[in-house]
Structure 1
Amino acid sequence: MSRSYPRNCWYVAATSDEVTGTPLGRRAVDQAVVLFRVSDGRAVALEDRCAHRPYPLSLGRVDGDTIVSGYTGFAYDASGACVRVPTQDRIPVGARVRAFPVHDDGTFVWAWLGDPARASLRTAPSVPWLADPAWASFGSQWETHAAIDLLQENFADISHITVVDPDFAPPVLRSAPPRLDVEVSETSVSFSRDYPPAELTAWHSELVGRPAGTLFRQRELGQFVTPGLWVDGWEAGEDGGGPACTFRFTHALTPIDATHTRHLWRVSRDFALQPDAEQTLRPMFEQYYRRVQAILETMQAVLDRDGPRPTVSVSADAAALQVRKIVRQMVADETPR
């Protein structure tokens, strides 16, 4: 199966709190990676395979600034170089494993799993709202048996929410949507859509502290930041004045291989910051995202069984089609000619 994702990209390898002094094994971009922290707290990402024997380093231990294979005893530093062999003083020539550039922003540990020389040419994405006390966030992560492009195109079009979960969907989505404004750069796609004043769902009205029937101006926002990050937003402000209350949805997508994707999601809000609000919101969003996961896995099963076929596009696909062009070009740029 052809690859639907670029290697030269920052992807979330783990959350920052998952990376500790105990090795963490992950698979990303069709390769095994081990993550750990050295004595000064820096996050390190290495190839998860001892250079001497095919044994995962993630099954070993961290010893100060090195990781030690649990089978061979070979020790590797943060650069991937072997620095100790238990049976001899001389280190074999070329004894090393691949080291990957990392960026730890305190929320996510991003890894660059492609050409390391290109990592400095692109800044890792920024998600400051996830650590901002003005926002309350919750979420989860799981593996979806579907190619990353199926997830990207799902987030590029929210019109299907009314079909997947009508009670969860904003009422304004039940009528013909206004025009979608799309902006495209070389590597990103942003879009927005302004809706006429309308009611919110009952649970949403309750969260913003307004009675049912209150009209709100509403705005949909979305951005394909990189192949590894999609950010959505939904703003609602009372018609006639007042600041907007915003939901922000963060989707960190990491391709495991051609047909599996790690999906790390966060739902953030700048209103109703009290903890009991999460008790209302979490089960609803988790149920919705699980439904979407099942749908995406069903589509992947159809593709696995019957192969790809031409598809029909509609106006709601405007952002998704631009995302598809960017990703295909990024992949093509990595393909030897």
Structure 2
Amino acid sequence: MKASKGSVRRFPSDAWYAVAHSEEVGRSPVGRVIHGTGIVLYRTAQGAVVALADRCAHRPYPLSRGEVVGDLLVSSYSGFAYGPDGRVVSVPTQEQVPVDAAVRAYPAAEYAGLVWVWTGNPGLAARRPLTLLPWLTEPGWTTFGADWETAASGGLLQDNFADITHVPHLHPVLSPPVLRQAPPRLHVEVSEQQVRFWRDFPATRLQTWQSEVTGLSPDAEFVQREEGFFASPGLWTDRWDVLTADGPRTMHFTHALRPVDDRRTHHYWAVSRNFAPDRETTGILRPLLEGYYRRVKDALEVMQDLIDREGPAKEVRVRADAAMLEVRRVMHRLLAEETAR
């Protein structure tokens, strides 16, 4: 194997990452892995989410194999009992708790049906609030989605989100006709920690499925707009608008990434729309979008396998890479700032 460190892009710790669906976290401990490190989740008696390091301070045994008693998490191997702050409050073999006996506690939050954990410096968590996702929380939107683990680095997923010109080649049935033409100019806006890009496609007819789900005429031509947003290392959103006289038919795509390790990424995706809330429309869209994301998953795993086998190589750049390159620069800068701290 010729893989080198240069073939994998690390993810910063100073970021919010979605680690579970809210309904997955209850009064029984749940284990997750992020950045190669275990985290255990559970709820207190009042329903608050607790996130602790998933390793007993006494012996190398996962706390996620323990049980919740009141608000305490008790190791099923050592019997050490941990409070929501990670401190050991009782030891079964002695009255005195050893000084500094504790595991790390992580800032945790619930939003948009997901549990988010801040894995870096806890003092920075409040200064970088979660990105608002109103299409997942407000009325007027219909959403479906899924999640799975992709055997590829999170950087490869980010590269994929930043350039949709591959869609006609990867899934021709899904691709709107405008993507089969030379793409118009891509506008890219960069801030210290985020990247936003957009472009307007000239008026053309809709793909068959687009006309069917939006109720728009298959013979009419519509301007369409693509928008992408690198919100944070663990969150990416996209938007696709079909512009009409009575307002856009909009589809929002949400991607929450959890880097399990350098070569495995948990991917939660959701598709939200502001039109046709009926189940029949979902029945048309779900197989199309899920089929596309599974093709992306397969393609990225092939890429990762090639990188692992042959190592990194010089890549030819084209204009469509503009947003991808800016995302890479922001990721590099976030990692550099974190290392400096």
TM-score of the aligned structures, taking structure 2 as reference length:
0.95
Instruction: Look up the equivalent residue of 2:294 and give its one-letter code.
Output: R
Residue aligning to 1:132: 138
Report SS of the residue matched to 2:42.
strand
Instruction: Look up the equivalent residue of 1:135 and give its one-letter code.
Output: W
Q: Deviations for 1:18-58, whole angstroms, at most 9, x for unmatched residues?
A: 11111110001221000111111111100001111111111
RMSD: 1.3
Report SS of the residue matched to 1:168.
coil
Instruction: Look up the equivalent residue of 1:186 and give its one-letter code.
Output: E
Residue aligning to 2:311: 307
Residue aligning to 1:172: 178
The whole-number CA distance in structure 2 between the counterparts of 1:222 and 1:137 is 18
Q: Deviations for 1:165-221, whole angstroms, at most 9, x for unmatched residues?
A: 111101100110110111110000101111111111111101111232221111001
Is the CA contact 1:10–1:125 (under 8 Å) kept in the aligned structure 2? no
Is the CA contact 1:134–1:270 (under 8 Å) kept in the aligned structure 2? yes
Out of 41, 63, 66, which is 1:60 matched to? Answer: 66
Q: Which moved more, 1:170-179 or 1:13-22?
A: 13-22
Is the CA contact 1:60–1:67 (under 8 Å) kept in the aligned structure 2? yes
Out of 132, 143, 158, which is 2:164 matched to? Answer: 158
Residue aligning to 2:217: 211
**% identical aligned pairs:** 49
**TM-fit CA distance, 1:13:** 1.2
Per the alignment, do residues 152 and 3 of structure 1 end up closer, same or farther by CA in structure 2, a change over 3 Å counting? closer
Report SS of the residue matched to 1:100.
coil
The whole-number CA distance in structure 2 between the counterparts of 1:17 and 1:199 is 41
**TM-fit CA distance, 1:4:** 2.0
**TM-fit CA distance, 1:69:** 0.8
Instruction: Look up the equivalent residue of 2:50 and give its one-letter code.
Output: V
Does residue 50 of the first structure (1) align with residue 56 of the second (2)? Answer: yes
Residue aligning to 1:144: 150
Residue aligning to 1:120: 126
Does residue 92 of the first structure (1) align with residue 98 of the second (2)? Answer: yes
Residue aligning to 2:331: 327
**TM-fit CA distance, 1:6:** 0.8
Is the CA contact 1:49–1:56 (under 8 Å) kept in the aligned structure 2? yes
Does residue 242 of the first structure (1) align with residue 239 of the second (2)? Answer: no
TM-score of the aligned structures, taking structure 1 as reference length:
0.97
The whole-number CA distance in structure 2 between the counterparts of 1:3 and 1:288 is 24
Is the CA contact 1:192–1:219 (under 8 Å) kept in the aligned structure 2? yes
**TM-fit CA distance, 1:263:** 0.4
**TM-fit CA distance, 1:269:** 0.3
- Structure 2: which 5+ residue stretches go unaligned? none
Out of 276, 281, 288, which is 2:280 matched to? Answer: 276
Does residue 253 of the first structure (1) align with residue 279 of the second (2)? Answer: no
